[in-house]
Structure 1
Amino acid sequence: MPETPEKSATDTFPDLTGLIKAYDVRGVVPDELNPEVARAIGAAFGDVVVVPETREGQRPRAVIGNDMRPSGPALVAAFADGLAGRGVDVTLIGLASTDGLYFASGSLDVPGAMFTASHNPAQYNGIKLCRAGARPVGQDSGLARVRDLASRYLATGVPDVATEGRERGTVDERDLLADYAAFLRSLVDLSGIRPLKVVVDAGNGMGGYTAPAVLGTAAGLPELPLEVVPLYFELDGTFPNHEANPLEPENLRDLQAAVVEHGADLGLAFDGDADRCFVIDENGDPVSPSAITALVGLREVAREQAAGRPTPTVIHNLITSQVVPDLVGATGAKVVRTRVGHSFIKAEMAEHDAVFGGEHSAHYYFRDFFFADTGMLAALHVLAALGGQPHPLSALAEIYQPYSASGEINSRVADVPAARARVVQAYVTEQGAGPVTVDELDGLTVSHWDTTPQWWFNLRASNTEPLLRLNVEAADEDIMTKVRDDVLALVRQTEES
């Protein structure tokens, strides 16, 4: 395999650091990501990940899927050509959600590449890479080497495998949608729930492809006691109705109105590649992803304990609500707190053999889904929990939302270290709000939870912009507001003041 060279002052390799980021590949088409770049990345992925990790006696093999963006097919074809040019056999599964690609990688036990820019606008596309079994590829686990080798290949050309005594790879196609749907259905039984009406907002993304297969009969599965009201199921990578980013409140408004209009029991919103799921109750109010983490985590813990495994592990990131460790820990389960970001949580999931993991960004991870994230499986759990008892979702959610949270608030500041230092001086050095516990697992977390009034906040710097991200939670709204406003005032204080 070609070695990634050390750069010297005379090297003229293209700089791909703005395109190939810490966790994935993402950029504007065609300025940053185009077929030439995709071919080089595919070849580098083959050399760095696929070929070295192929078992002895087997052919190197990888699987590729893509979302509905118009730029996807050309990029996939070039990426597949780059892989084949390095001796890798390629299986194309065509249109897929990101968790559909993870299913393909896990069930076929081969590395994979998903072409998607998730919730980003139409002019973007990207690539999420994984090892066999849907294991992540991140900055510290091969992505930096892929970036550097792809840069070299763009400058010098991809070498021909024939000169190395290897055969060029083949490219074939396979439809795995029905297998994906059947696998998810096998993990959560909805056959005995009470009838539910659910509005699903696919945002013109891949949820419009996967929801009919999983929740309906499009994949040939038995009918469920669900009446699905579709919203924006037409696949359209230009996102004509709203951006497929349910984290932004304005992108939930159509779903909220439709839930109330149709008298639905709940609403589900998926992002562009349908790996995240957001939940709306019968009143049109959003249910916190932390509440969903607690709800699903408790279901998975109960299933494990019923099977004779008394201390299963649940993972949550550090900006998830305190309700998650409170409720899950009370069952006797082990609760592990981790940094924000899917590569970190997936690593912790595998290390601890965790049954479930949740992030406040609405990514939900399952041991039984190759330790990968899947919004659709989380949705099935919500439907099962709601349909297995008589109360409305708002009453059920109230149990899992006892505290007041600010949500993530971004502040653009001229001097990030100075802004952070002001917060440290006020809350840690001077302890102006009382004795606190402090950790720096990911940014700065300051907690006053062990005494009254109960509150905590996390302040994290962006990896790519001069931003500080603040999350605050407290036992009541008044305390949350006071802490939020005080920390924001310190962060946004100008040098002149």
Structure 2
Amino acid sequence: MTKLSCFKAYDIRGKLETELNEEIAYKIGRAYGQIYQPKTVAVGCDVRLSSESLKQATIRGLNDAGVNVLDLGMTGTEEVYFAAFHLDVQGGIEVTASHNPMDYNGMKLVRENARPISADTGLKEIQALAETAAFTEVSLKGTTQSYNILAEFVQHLLTYIQPEKIRPLKLVVNAGNGAAGHVIDAIETQFKALNVPVEFIKVHHEADGTFPNGIPNPLLIENRDSTSQAVIAHQADMGIAWDGDFDRCFLFDEKGQFIEGYYIVGLLAQAFLLQHPNEKIVHDPRLVWNTQDLVEKYQGQTIQSKSGHAFIKQIMREENAIYGGEMSAHHYFRDFAYCDSGMIPWLLVASLLSETQQSLSSLVEDMIAKFPCSGEINFKVADSQATIQKIFDHYADQNPIIDRTDGVSLDFGAWRVNVRSSNTEPLLRLNIESRRDKQPRPMQSYVDELSAMIQS
């Protein structure tokens, strides 16, 4: 039996050839089909050079398990999510490594109605069967047909806004040579047909699996210049950049400044509550004060969830929450089967710019001033739990309010810190926020203090 190291907490991700190859992809498809026995599954892949062949191997595995496949071609993850709740299928698989290095690939798997499959909800069973390869032969193999979901997907996206209310906007869109470009082109065509006065300035737009401009990951500071500079050069109203499979989008204001994902959560909560007061908003525990403040202001209700898409989606379903947001730029929507989308957020913000007649910087400046934050800072440490305990012990005599929803959060009234182990990488993640009205020390002094403690 071969142990497979590509199975992670939420998805499948591994180094090409050694951890993930066509043989392993075939076994994953075959195991998925045998365990869930769906009639039909929608399958897509991102633009990486290895993705198409891994997708075809996965499809062969599904077919050999008796499963019919709708091959969606080159798609972003959310197009597979959309297919999984919109079409008459019982699941979906996207072959993608998102923002991982060039020599990686992976898969995201969902069941009917785009319910996530993670370690707690079936991924371990798929792994076990793929490892033993104890496959049962079926009498009737499945078939495969191509299906283009794009037009239906774009029609769905436009239901989140009122296109006739969009004022003239100039938007810089940076697909990072990933999968987002074809959706932007389709939205642009729809906007033209509806006379929506939006001009798109396209940067690194063509899908190119060699990633000539670097792996699309706008969380890396060095990857932000191309969007920022284009916003300034074209005097655009907003910049939008996506990761490779475009399930996360990152926003830049009209000055070309990157807006932390934390404040976008507050902005989107506001956008929903303006239209739908009294609804529930789910957020992660890393940074919370701004979200709680805004949701209260707009008569909503906040619910805290552990970080990670499987946890957020589950709580949103249980609570029937309209929207959920993580500061890592994952945004989840009830009307999108509680899945994350990198297209819906920028459409909502464009709508908010139109409705409020304000610039993006003016919409977020009060939040940033009121609740300054460090942004997420990552450290490579030998022992995450020991480091977290050291921080906990250091501040124990200050009697903070302690929250262990995810890692450890310590609330001192004037400032707050969350420290947690990454679910997907060997990293310790640090987030700090403060309250301007409590006149705390400068944010950087907290960052320096904790950084020194973690690295010592």
Same fold? TM cut 0.5: yes
1:142 is the counterpart of 2:122: yes
2-structure distance, mates of 1:39, 1:233: 31
1:478 is the counterpart of 2:455: no
Instruction: Select 2:72's aligned residue among 70, 85, 93.
Output: 93
Q: Counterpart in 2 of 1:457?
A: 417
Q: Counterpart in 1 of 2:406?
A: 442
2-structure distance, mates of 1:204, 1:399: 34
Contact 2:322 2:333 in 1 (8 A): yes
Q: Name which of structure 1's ranges 401-410 and 464-473 shifts more when overlaid on structure 2.
A: 464-473
Instruction: Select 2:380's aligned residue among 403, 406, 412.
Output: 412
The Cα shift of 1:392 comes to: 1.9
Q: Counterpart in 1 of 2:35?
A: 48
Instruction: Select 2:152's aligned residue among 158, 165, 179.
Output: 179
The Cα shift of 1:464 comes to: 6.0
The Cα shift of 1:220 comes to: 8.4
> Cα RMSD (Å) of the superposition?
1.7
Give the counterpart letter for 2:72 in structure 1. Answer: I
The Cα shift of 1:44 comes to: 0.6
Instruction: Select 2:82's aligned residue among 103, 106, 128.
Output: 103
Q: Counterpart in 1 of 2:58?
A: 79
2-structure distance, mates of 1:191, 1:404: 36
User: Deviation string for 1:112-162 (max 9, x for gaps)?
Assistant: 000111111222111100011111110000001101111111xx6x43212
Contact 1:191 1:225 in 2 (8 A): no
Q: Name which of structure 1's ranges 363-372 and 118-127 shifts more when overlaid on structure 2.
A: 118-127
Contact 2:77 2:247 in 1 (8 A): yes
Instruction: Select 1:126's aligned residue among 103, 106, 129.
Output: 106
Change (3 A) 1:267 1:82: same
Aligned residues: 451
Q: Counterpart in 1 of 2:198?
A: 226
Secondary structure at the residue paired with 1:470?
strand
The Cα shift of 1:481 comes to: 2.2
Q: Name which of structure 1's ranges 270-279 and 181-190 shifts more when overlaid on structure 2.
A: 181-190
User: Deviation string for 1:312-331 (max 9, x for gaps)?
Assistant: 11000011341101110233
Contact 2:248 2:330 in 1 (8 A): yes
User: Deviation string for 1:409-429 (max 9, x for gaps)?
Assistant: 12223343332222111112x
The Cα shift of 1:30 comes to: 2.3
Give the counterpart letter for 1:317 in structure 2. Answer: D
2-structure distance, mates of 1:330, 1:390: 20
Instruction: Normalising by structure 2, report the TM-score.
Output: 0.95
2-structure distance, mates of 1:173, 1:110: 17
The Cα shift of 1:15 comes to: 0.9
Secondary structure at the residue paired with 2:224?
helix
2-structure distance, mates of 1:267, 1:462: 28
Q: Counterpart in 1 of 2:137?
A: 160
1:50-449 to 2 correspondence within 5 Å?
A: 51=37, 54=38, 60-108=39-87, 109-153=89-133, 158-162=135-139, 167-214=140-187, 216-217=188-189, 222-305=194-277, 311-401=278-368, 402-428=370-396, 430-431=397-398, 435-449=399-413
Q: Counterpart in 2 of 1:29?
A: 16
User: Deviation string for 1:369-409 (max 9, x for gaps)?
Assistant: 11101110011001001122333221112133232111111
Give the counterpart letter for 1:205 in structure 2. Answer: G
Change (3 A) 1:68 1:223: farther
The Cα shift of 1:460 comes to: 0.6
The Cα shift of 1:69 comes to: 1.1
The Cα shift of 1:480 comes to: 2.3
2-structure distance, mates of 1:220, 1:195: 12
Instruction: Normalising by structure 1, report the TM-score.
Output: 0.87
Contact 1:295 1:400 in 2 (8 A): no
Secondary structure at the residue paired with 2:19?
coil
% identity of equivalent residues: 38
The Cα shift of 1:187 comes to: 2.0
Contact 2:2 2:131 in 1 (8 A): yes
The Cα shift of 1:302 comes to: 2.5
User: Deviation string for 1:43-73 (max 9, x for gaps)?
Assistant: 1111223x1xx5xxxxx11110111111112
The Cα shift of 1:468 comes to: 2.0
Secondary structure at the residue paired with 2:225?
helix
Change (3 A) 1:465 1:27: closer
Contact 2:287 2:432 in 1 (8 A): no
Give the counterpart letter for 1:261 in structure 2. Answer: A
Secondary structure at the residue paired with 2:276?
helix
Secondary structure at the residue paired with 1:64?
strand
Secondary structure at the residue paired with 2:287?
coil
Give the counterpart letter for 1:416 in structure 2. Answer: S
Moved over 4 A (4+): 218-221, 463-466
The Cα shift of 1:304 comes to: 2.1
